[in-house]
Chain A
Amino acid sequence: MSSSVTNIAAHTVASETSPRASRKILSDLSVMIGGQGGDGTLTVSDLLGRYFRKLGLYVYTSRNVLSRIRGGHADASVRASDHPTSSVKPQVDVLLAFDHEAAELGSQELGPEGVIIYDSSIFSTSLPNSYGFPFATLVGGQVGQPIYKNVAAYGAVSVLLGFDESLTRQVIEERFQRRGAEALQKNLKALEIGRQAASGVPEVPQHWSVRPGEAHDQILSIGNQAVALGFVVGGGRFFSGYPITPATEIMEYLQRYLQPFHGVVRQAEDELAAINNVLGAAYAGARAMTSTSGPGLSLMTEGIGQAGAAELPIVIADCQRVGPSTGEPTRHEQSDLAHLAHLGHGEYPRFIVAPGTVLECFEMTVQALNLAEKWRLPVILLLDQALCQNTVTSPPFDISKVRIERGPTLTGEDLAKMAEYKVYKSTETGVSPYALPGTPGVWAEVTGNEHDEWGHVSVAVPNRVAMMQKRMGKMTKAEPDLPKGKFFGPPDAKIGIIGFGSTTGPIWEAQELLSAKHIATRFYQPRTLYPILVSEADAFLKSVDVCYVVEHNFTGQFANLLREAVPWHHAKLKPVLKYDGHSFRSPEIVHAISGGA
């Protein structure tokens, strides 16, 4: 903890006892910032997030942007809480609106005591509890460029929420110092303009205050960054991808991270090239991955099938967005699962693993790399837009827990003791020890054609049957190796909830809300979605009378996989589905389970 943070804590506590401290203390608050794309809403969200982090609070920020560079409605929300959270707060406390549309849209999410701060140089509104300040005009006049209006607005919000003045400034300094002295001065000036304007309206100053928290050991990250870091630390050394929302940050982070480790990051000419680059690199022996979203995944499907047939270890991170087709590139969904479970023509083994938190994104990327090489097949790391792109406080990533498991590999020494090297040698596990191309003295044929143990093309009947059994057998033999699910809530609860990926956050919160209503629930977060871990799913479903399967798609894709795997529990499964492009808010889950009781 830095000394400045300690000072702030002292200051905030002291002011609570001051005569002006009739204001309410918020321990869990949400600020929504809306405007046109280009208004700088994401910057305000970032500044607030930084402030709350300095205060030791848990932070969760989400963004709602359109697939365009400028213009169109865009909003972001920042949640700060004194307890861990990884979901959007159901009601907004402060709405900062840069235009009329943002005020109208945002006010629908505003809580009963919510306050609106808006730019009165752009529009005016008669919505209750709203305070207009002409940010653009004030900043345009005094700084010379209206573009700094967002920082002025941050200043106004800081007054409303009783922020510490020097810490508020410090956030600006840290954020803008690398843009040069002039830009920093302009931003500080804009901050001052906003603070003065807000201080001049008696109801606004220190309307609320925010109590410091204890979350100083946390980091702030997004799933895509965690995947990139997990890839590097997990020994990933070759990445090829193609820009696509919401997956692109994985490639961008790797372009920054991987080079010093003899790694290669390629931006390919399309997804076909990306997956085939990865196949070539995996053949050569590199730990290789690509990342994409729905449309790219469709293009990669043939390549993923070759990984299954030719037994090449690759990882595909699928950052799901709204489908089908181009769908809604910037919006959230979990609708690729059914496609992935049955991906491609013909039959081949594959694992689908799904992290539910940013920390799990780090850990399970490592696991996915291990699984791919140990079982020599494609592993899909299933993510979703909210998990990939929403910023959240997370426990730091722990390198000491990382294990690199490469699967059976033959070195020159091993081979010297062997009579023959068969690249598809039949084994107990179905996994054939692999010698990297370039290993002196040996070579092999690797192919997606049906092949014999040498890799030679073969249509011989006994061979075909044996090879199918070799490959498909991995699905059951690997089961003990696959990521186990996690369970939350009392083991004797009779109401079950199942959800994966980013729905874990809203489900945890729904469990708390239900618990307050004396409704006990047990939440099963499966982390291997395919194949379904039958004994795990069966035991859980046995323990409950009813089970709500919460997912972001129309058809209940995970529930359907469960019906296939544990059909005897069919009647217990109650799908809770959302496919409007936005992630679940906890009350929606509460309502589905308790019926508003």
Chain B
Amino acid sequence: MVQSAKPVQPIWCPGCGDFGVLAAVKKAANELKIPPYQLALVGGIGCSGSIHNFLEVNGIHALHGRLLAQAIGVKLANPQLTVVAAGGDGDGYAIGMGHFIHAFKHNVSLVYLVMNNETYGLTKGQASPTSQIGFEGNIEHPFDSILTSLSIPVPNFIARTFSGDPKTMTAILVEALKFTQDHRGFAFIEDLSPCVTYNDTYKLWREKVQDVSKLDGYDPTDRQVMFRLCQETREKGKIPVGVMHRPSDAEKGEIGLEKALLPDDLGPARADLSIDANLASYTKLIRSVT
């Protein structure tokens, strides 16, 4: 068999939360039997965004903040690929915030994994959009991606996981991948992934995570309920984790953008471009200009 690029050793610090995500991606791909050549992993800029280098996968290293825009291009060009975009909280919620919000609206069937460590690790520990007040002199309130995503009325898959609970993370990732493979739209997972060097929150987060599915009235098909549960959990000083939105049966008819735009799963990348194959249609098109 032809030799392809071999994974390289991760650049991450020992104990980094991102190792949990790497393991979960491998397990989920194995469980769903996705061969490396069928999986495209679009990495952002930052420690987490280098994840594609550590896997047997089609990897593309996007520009800072632009991984979603590139991942959307990949999926729309070849809807047969399973596409995962993976980056950090600075990449997704600061420089990439515009694309982040629009990704829910575009609803292209791909998984977006944000490894949130509440800091800019690679540039040595500055405050990020999710940093708590007081962290490195931060006086701004942290951004909550789950509350934001619940406010966008599109039947996406939305979840938060914790690197300290790899089993749940893998299960949720499998569900998200299946969701996108069924062309049901955008799947967003924020993983709480501690930075052991600049913001070691393992112990704190282990104490604070609250599995939302254990809460009274948990209903991931109801945004209002989930918004309230997440807010109440936050008010109690806890961090809500679990599946936050899973489209109801009524919304199951909704399809991802690639399905809405394209007649089949051939896509722009595999379309027949030859003049001969298209001559009749081209001639008609050209003759429409008089």
Contact = CB atoms under 8 A, between A and B. Distances in A.
Instruction: Please determine whether chains A and B interact with each other in the same assembly.
Output: yes
A437 B58 contact: yes
B265 to A, nearest CB: 10
A234 to B, nearest CB: 8
Contacts of B40: 284, 437-438
Contacts of A443: 4-5, 36-37, 56-59
Interface string A415-451: 1101111110000000000001111111111111100
A288 B73 contact: yes
A223 to B, nearest CB: 13
Contacts of B264: 262
Interface stretch (B63-71, B181-189, B220-228): B63-71
Interface in B1-59: 1-6, 8, 35-38, 40, 42, 50, 52-53, 56-59
B204 interface: no
Interface stretch (A135-143, A394-402, A484-492): A394-402
Given A235-B273, A285-B78, A302-B63, A280 B2 contact: no
Interface in B66-117: 66, 69-78, 80-81, 98-99, 102
Contact of A233 (B60, B61, B282): B282
B237 interface: no
Nearest to A285: B269
Interface stretch (A31-39, A63-71, A452-460): A452-460
A303 B37 CA distance: 25
Contacts of A421: 2-5
A87 interface: no
Contacts of A238: 73, 76-77, 268-269
Interface stretch (A187-195, A270-278, A514-522, A534-542): A270-278
A438 B77 contact: no
B70 A276 contact: yes
Contact of A269 (B37, B102, B268): B102
B278 to A, nearest CB: 7
B243 interface: no
Contacts of A257: 285
B69 to A, nearest CB: 3
Given A283-B73, A404-B275, A437-B81, A262 B8 contact: no
A149 interface: no
A220 B288 CA distance: 11
A277 B75 CA distance: 10
Given A229-B289, A264-B268, A287 B102 contact: no
A264 B40 CA distance: 19
Interface in B250-287: 261-264, 266-271, 273-275, 278-279, 281-283, 285-286
Nearest to A303: B63
A422 B71 CA distance: 22
Interface residues of B, number: 63
A225 interface: yes
A220 to B, nearest CB: 7
B287 to A, nearest CB: 8
Contacts of A259: 261
Contacts of A457: 8, 50, 53
Nearest to B66: A276
A232 interface: yes
A266 B69 CA distance: 11
A315 interface: no
A445 B269 contact: no
Contacts of A264: 76-77, 261-262, 267-268
Contacts of B239: none
20 contacts: A233-B275, A259-B261, A262-B262, A262-B268, A264-B261, A272-B66, A273-B66, A273-B98, A276-B99, A277-B76, A279-B62, A279-B73, A281-B77, A306-B63, A399-B286, A437-B81, A438-B40, A447-B59, A457-B8, A457-B53
Interface of B: 1-6, 8, 35-38, 40, 42, 50, 52-53, 56-63, 65-66, 69-78, 80-81, 98-99, 102, 261-264, 266-271, 273-275, 278-279, 281-283, 285-286, 289-290
Given A262-B271, A287-B268, 15 more contacts: A229-B289, A261-B271, A273-B98, A276-B69, A277-B76, A281-B77, A283-B74, A396-B289, A397-B289, A399-B279, A421-B4, A442-B4, A445-B5, A455-B5, A457-B8
Interface of A: 219-221, 225, 229, 232-233, 235, 237-238, 240, 257, 259-264, 266, 268-270, 272-288, 302-303, 306, 310, 396-397, 399, 402, 404, 406, 415-416, 418-423, 436-449, 454-457
9 smallest beta-carbon distances between A and B, as pairs: A280-B73, A276-B69, A235-B273, A237-B268, A447-B61, A284-B77, A280-B70, A262-B271, A286-B268
